Structure 1
Amino acid sequence: MQACDRCYRRKSKCDKAIPTCGQCQKARTLCDYIDRSREPAVRREAVDRLERRLRQAEAKNRALTSQLATYQASRSSSIGKESREAPQPPVLSPNFPFDRNEVADEVSFLSLQAGGERNYPGVASGVVFSHLVQGVASLDSSSPHGQAPNRTSTRPVDQTTSSLSIPREALPPEIVARRLHQAYFKHDYLCYPFLNRHSALANLDRIYADVSVLEADATVAFPFYMVLAIAMASAHKCDWQSLPESENFQARAMMRVGEVLQRSDIHALQAVLLLCQYRMTSPIQEKSTSLWHMVGFAARMCFEQGLHRNETYYDPSSHSGNEDLLALSETRRRCFWCVVDMDRIVSITLGRPLAIHLEDVDTVLPEPHVLESSDSTPGNTEEQPSPTAIFNHITQYRILSGKVMISLHSNRATARDEDSAAVARITLTEELEQWRNESQNLHLQPESHAQTRRSSFLSPEWYELLYYNTLLMIYRPSPTLSTISARSPAVLQATFDASREAISRYALLHTSQRINYTWITLHAVFMAGLSYIYAVGRHYRTRKANTSANAVGSTLSTDPTIIEVVNTCRSCSIVLVAVSERWATPRHCHQVFDRLSDAVLADVIAFFTQSTSTPAASMNQANASRNIITASQADLNTPLSPDDSVVIPPISAATCFPLGVDTALRDCFEDLQHFHDAYGGDGPIRQLSQDWLHEIGGMALHAVQLWGE
């Protein structure tokens, strides 16, 4: 008889008892015996993924059959007669023009071939670059505007202006298109204003005045359909299972992507940014590695076009005032800073090096007064902050978060000594506080129930969330500050407070339906929850050690109560479930979090139960711990040094008394590594779980790295 599944995974000795072995009974976990002699065990997530792909393949077959029939009918009609007589458009159903049972382009995953080519194609390789992006996007090959995207073909796409005209019924009703454009510019555009709003709305008027514009100009057709796709995905964030329209709009846009990318100008850069933005928005797109590649392409396109140099922009003071040139120049500037923002978001989430370093950049942030009139929403009586001011403030935050990553969580940071790293931490904290204070200049109003629901980018809670996320990034365990983090109660307190407040803000945004259901949000929520459990577990591990052996370690200022831990963990779990169910790859992360939160809650209950049974000893120990904290708690603005009068030994396997949450961490450790296996890179979730395991003496780090490979 073979060992049970848990002992087999942990490579521990199993007594093979039935129904529960000794190891599982001791850990109070489920004991399963799997017959490995016949076939290997398959993870449930892999089965779900295969079933999903099967459904997608069936949907694609139905869609291709329908598209082929439509194409053949249109072609025979155009050959038989050239008259412009056309039947009246039929009455469109609310689900126009796609059947919800034919989620035709759901298989248009930008993630199916996420690895793709890893080399930048060069300056003049417009066609190669087009095929490269198409390979990353895994396009639907049935395109009336060109041949199927063959990876080995170098045939240019400029011959593909089609003989198949776009039927009027292929467009959404004009009122629907206008509402989707309005929704896009009220939400998604605030964070990434790389399109010219005035030009986009003017093109919308041209399209519905003459539908042939879509066929004649790919630089009009591609942004038109992508804006519809992004806005539809955002509009359906609460009804996330009803996204065929969004996928079909994106598929229609991809029919023209080759023609746009071949230009290698600002239109090509905007096309890549639209793909990245859709990648972040649509829950159908599961993987982030291809997004990381596309952001890298966009960064190199910026360098190619000189957008990182201020001298390449139009200077109205040295030329006669040309409004068109000024508008184009500011659009190019916004494109560059949008790429910087995306680069920071994706690289920090994946734990990968930045593509754009500010040492190479001398261009300034967008001018608030340029394009401001076209950015404002007509007829809006509410006093809202300037869209450009919002974008600049968000960009300043992204720049600051990039500095945190470089200073504390990169290979460059590991070469620092602890004193200089501690000084960098203090400086970054001060800059973050200054950014938080400057948020008041936006004059954001809290949303009331009487108001229409607004974008999260107009919510002060969202900016508070950014503040606590970065504070957590500053004070979580870092390779350069591992000793300080292990012995400083103030650092543990900052980690605890930041994670708790971040979870609270996420729960508030989720309750008000203003949260952005993206894989980046999923990662941030999980990171906040994991940090909270880490801080609570470390506190009670030290408290237990103090009670048992008078050991000293870092603790929180007060003991988190049972109800506090329950409420915080429950709030985090609710948000994780809501976000993760939209993303198939890491959707089991809420199950991992629930196992950890249940374990730490059991430890908290056990601690208070034991304290109640021995009140006198508990009171004496609590007073002793409080005195230790008072004597040893260093101010966050004062780095610790070896000469400090109070020496706090680092927590180790010898002085640490394991808790149930430590056992749960060992059981969930492989899942925590798999969370980042799906994304690639050495991300913060992997780093924190490895540091935690190292603290409790669970395993050598070289073995941890093998699991991640």
Structure 2
Amino acid sequence: MPPEQEQKCDSFRPCSLCARANVDCEQALSEDTPTSRAKSNNQRRRGKLRQRVQSRSSSDVASASAQSDQQPSLPPERISPSFGENERATEPRDQPSAWAPLDFGESESAMGFARKIYRLGSQTIDEQQTSAIPDGGCGTRTPITRTSGQRLPISTILGGRFPEQNEIDSLLEDYFESVHWFSLVIYEPTFRKRLNSVKDGFALPAEAPFLTLLSVVLCMAAWYRSKKPTQEGHEAWQLCSDELLRIVESRLIHIMDQHSVAAVQTLLLLGSHHVYHGRPNLSFALLGATIKISHAMGLHRKLAHGSFDDVEERKRVWWTLYTWDRFASISYGRPLSINDEDCNVGMPAEFTESPLFRPESAPESLGVRYSPYQTQLTQLYLLASPALKTIFGSLSAQSGNQHFESEYSLQVNDVTQKLLAWRRDLPSFLSLDLDTDYHPSATHLGIRAHSLQSLSLQLTFDNVMIVLHRPSLARQIKNLSAQTPIATGSVTDMDSPLAQGGTQGASQSDQVPRFEANSSSEYWWRAAVRTARITELPHLTQIATDSHLVAFMAMNLFHAAIVLTLVALSDPLSDPAQAVKRTITRVFRLEELLGQRDPASE
């Protein structure tokens, strides 16, 4: 074959050489086309391929160097590609690439093997051509193209009215005060950097994932602002929240088609918003989709390469998703969706974050340490997971089996002791003191956040304790249903806390008892009493009603009220039962107050 024919494109399109060079095939050359022109085109394609490979290699070296230095935060110029600012924004940092596929040493898909075969020849698979195959292209089927870098108004990109910058800054401070301390979905350092890039109200179309995340953040902040009794313009902020929610939901399918951290963050916040605002079924469906997207991205696996901020953001998002999965299993009574054995992600680093965004906000000498709360909450659920898996998993169908009950009893005993040790070892600023209420005069944002976080951890701990000992609670209900109206002497047979003297003063009820094999009821009983005692903390519960904790608190109070009601019904005419009924009355009054602030609390 003559040399000039070897340098033409193959007869089938796209030819292998052009595919590797990521360029369009040239039109067939006529016979009178000079040979030098064919050689020039071929050399240009090969040159582009070499440049692309060299650029990728340089990027990998820089990434590995940054990882070895263990720097907490690198300047943008050190971690960004060396092209223009507008072009850099067209490729989000969390956009996956076929040149650096995730490899965790686990079973792979067919596409995973195909990628490895291609890499044997220093080739790559075009993601555009494989996006319709499972585990193919990691982006959408309409890939982002590098344009001239034209920036558009944010409202044009999202297709709806977007708040002004001063409103955005103000709402973000409300978000950190109402939501962020409770659900650490966003990673503040990275979030702030991306926010600064769109402060002028313009953005690149490729920044739509972050803009959607920003929309759901502002939606939640506007909703809580509209519920504040001292806030003017309640209806305007409610309309603002509704409009932002419409924008996010209109982009829902597009969000779910993305493999990006921003997409996972958006779905997490959207799901938590719905579970606490009257649409729990939609929230449960969104949680399942979010878990699958996270698995596809490998968030459940340790990231071998990447900047400090990228690694920490992935950790934070994954463990937030993990705790939501455990909470959902308890709330819905359904199996766990995340298997502990599949995860090898470390705990997030603890650092301070700034909740202030307005220029006029007085800067505090120190930021707020929100992250220890996430670490403690995650550890609580990790300790409880083996028992939760048994309770809500397929083995629960064997609950009538005597051998199963014996095995489960041993498991619960072990988990209970670990949870009690976890509670004893809590940092003082995250340990709730039921005898000391929150002081409204406290102005430091950290004190307020830690007070609410301590309440959240206590509610979670007590709720888990009740759930772990549900078999004992179920036996109480079974015995109560079999009891005749005049047979009031069966309380002792039911192992009721009333019969055991478990109705001591409230100040004594929250003391952790010494564990005994036949006193399982003591655990769910005292957990319910501790939960009910938050009615004695009016200032703390008041600030909780202005935050994302309001519905969570209402759900846990409802759970505790069921336990208290069961105990009161076991011996309704006794003096201890009367005391329990008065406690239930206080719980219902608080529930009524919470119901005025949140649909899930009604």
- Settle same-fold status: TM greater than 0.5: yes
Q: Distance in 2 between matches of 1:274 and 1:418?
A: 38
Give 1:274's aligned residue.
Answer: 269
Deviations 1:149-183 (A, max 9, x none): xxxxxx96989x99997379944343321122123
Cα distance 1:167–1:408, how it changes in 2: closer, same or farther (>3 A)? closer
Deviations 1:198-228 (A, max 9, x none): 232233333232x221756202311221111
Residue in structure 1 matching 2:345, options 339, 363, 384 = 363
Give 2:13's aligned residue.
Answer: none
1:233 aligns with 2:216: no
The alpha carbon displacement at 1:373 in A equals 5.0
Contact 2:532-2:560 at 8 Å conserved across structures: yes
Q: How many equivalent pairs are there?
A: 406
1:514 aligns with 2:544: yes
Please tell me the root mean square deviation across aligned C-alpha atoms, in Å. Answer: 3.9
Q: Distance in 2 between matches of 1:253 and 1:460?
A: 32
Deviations 1:203-261 (A, max 9, x none): 3333232x221756202311221111122223344459852221212223334444444
Cα distance 1:235–1:522, how it changes in 2: closer, same or farther (>3 A)? same
Give 1:533's aligned residue.
Answer: 565
Residue in structure 1 matching 2:300, options 308, 330, 339 = 308
Give 1:463's aligned residue.
Answer: 457
Q: Distance in 1 between matches of 2:526 and 2:392?
A: 21
Cα distance 1:380–1:458, how it changes in 2: closer, same or farther (>3 A)? farther
Cα distance 1:569–1:443, how it changes in 2: closer, same or farther (>3 A)? closer
Contact 2:291-2:321 at 8 Å conserved across structures: yes
Q: Distance in 1 between matches of 2:495 and 2:582?
A: 28
Cα distance 1:234–1:434, how it changes in 2: closer, same or farther (>3 A)? farther
Give 1:112's aligned residue.
Answer: none
Cα distance 1:586–1:438, how it changes in 2: closer, same or farther (>3 A)? closer
Q: Which moved more, 1:256-265 or 1:372-381?
A: 372-381
TM-score of the superposed pair, with normalisation by structure 1: 0.50
1:567 aligns with 2:582: yes
Give 2:531's aligned residue.
Answer: 502
Q: Distance in 1 between matches of 2:152 and 2:176?
A: 33
Q: Distance in 2 between matches of 1:443 and 1:456?
A: 6
Cα distance 1:527–1:498, how it changes in 2: closer, same or farther (>3 A)? same
Q: Distance in 2 between matches of 1:577 and 1:304?
A: 42
Deviations 1:638-695 (A, max 9, x none): xxxxxxxxxxxxxxxxxxxxxxxxxxxxxxxxxxxxxxxxxxxxxxxxxxxxxxxxxx
Q: Distance in 2 between matches of 1:291 and 1:125?
A: 27
1:393 aligns with 2:376: yes
Q: Distance in 1 between matches of 2:353 and 2:367?
A: 14
What's the secondary structure of 2:566's corresponding residue?
A: helix
Q: Distance in 1 between matches of 2:138 and 2:569?
A: 54
Specify the code of the residue in structure 1 equivalent to 2:325: D
What's the secondary structure of 1:560's corresponding residue?
A: helix
Contact 1:455-1:514 at 8 Å conserved across structures: no
Residue in structure 2 matching 1:430, options 411, 417, 425 = 417
TM-score of the superposed pair, with normalisation by structure 2: 0.58
Give 1:184's aligned residue.
Answer: 175
Give 1:288's aligned residue.
Answer: 280
Give 1:579's aligned residue.
Answer: 594
Give 2:4's aligned residue.
Answer: none
Specify the code of the residue in structure 1 equivalent to 2:385: G
1:218 aligns with 2:193: no
Q: Distance in 1 between matches of 2:562 and 2:353?
A: 43
Contact 2:171-2:221 at 8 Å conserved across structures: yes
1:297 aligns with 2:296: no
What's the secondary structure of 2:197's corresponding residue?
A: helix
Q: How does 1:616-627 map to 2 (within 5 A)?
A: none
Q: Distance in 2 between matches of 1:233 and 1:456?
A: 23
Cα distance 1:456–1:351, how it changes in 2: closer, same or farther (>3 A)? farther
Specify the code of the residue in structure 1 equivalent to 2:313: T
The alpha carbon displacement at 1:374 in A equals 4.8
1:331 aligns with 2:313: yes
Contact 2:430-2:457 at 8 Å conserved across structures: no
The alpha carbon displacement at 1:455 in A equals 3.5
Give 1:659's aligned residue.
Answer: none
Give 1:472's aligned residue.
Answer: 466
The alpha carbon displacement at 1:384 in A equals 7.5
Q: Distance in 1 between matches of 2:206 and 2:471?
A: 55
What's the secondary structure of 1:513's corresponding residue?
A: helix
Give 2:248's aligned residue.
Answer: 253
Cα distance 1:348–1:313, how it changes in 2: closer, same or farther (>3 A)? farther
Q: Distance in 1 between matches of 2:528 and 2:474?
A: 21
Q: Point out where structure 2 has 5 or more consecutive residues left out of the alignment.
A: 1-132, 480-492, 501-518
Contact 1:230-1:277 at 8 Å conserved across structures: no
Q: Distance in 2 between matches of 1:586 and 1:187?
A: 17
Contact 1:229-1:250 at 8 Å conserved across structures: yes
Q: Point out where structure 1 has 5 or more consecutive residues left out of the alignment.
A: 1-120, 131-154, 315-323, 544-558, 588-709
What's the secondary structure of 1:276's corresponding residue?
A: helix
Specify the code of the residue in structure 2 equivalent to 1:569: I
